[in-house]
Structure 1
Amino acid sequence: MKHALHSVVFGLFLASTAAIADDMPTIKLLMKDGRLFPETLEVPANTRFRLEVKNEGPGATEFESLELKKELVLAPGVTRNLVFFPMKPGTYKFFDDFHPETGQGKIVAK
């Protein structure tokens, strides 16, 4: 009985976590051939959001932001998500660590 109760509680936790995640705005970023599309991402300030990163290039890419302490490596053809906590209004740099010369971008929280 105790195990069944834990399963129910865990199931409710997952359902509530999914519901919270579905309420977040999703911002999309495409990485391809060492380029970022778009290079500037506008996000709502003071709001959690999801960044959906897709690699359409033939090689690996890496979304990285030192100031936001985020890093995500993507193999070719892979799409993954990063969740960001609310940001104060401002501009935050990010880059493709495998293509630092051409893969420069910024997140603008308004």
Structure 2
Amino acid sequence: MRAHVQEIVFDCAGPAALVRFWSGLLGGDPVDRGDDWSYVDPPDFVRLAFQRVPEDKSAKNRVHLDLEVPDPSRAADEALRSGAVRVGGLVTDEQGSFQVMRDPEGNEFCFVTG
């Protein structure tokens, strides 16, 4: 039996706010199913869901999303205006470039070129 990814779920404190941040980055219309659960279906991507949990984020994510963009620096500048935080500087090597970011609740993600 093979499984497929139905959705990626982020634990968070504010599902309604966080879904709007991510829908701004990836597209799609944010949906609030209640105070504790929101989701977005970005075009050409799996659903991202946001579930309210009582505990704060306390460590670095063990999994993060790499978002391919033409220009990581420009994408980072735009994301900053929506509440993201830049982590370190742009890294460039023979594989391309990436910029580490955090969403408004501290979840890490990267803007990358390939």
The two structures have a TM-score, normalised by structure 1, of 0.31
Q: Taking CA–CA contacts closer than 8 Å with sequence separation of 6 or more, which of the two structures ends up with the larger relative contact order? A: 1
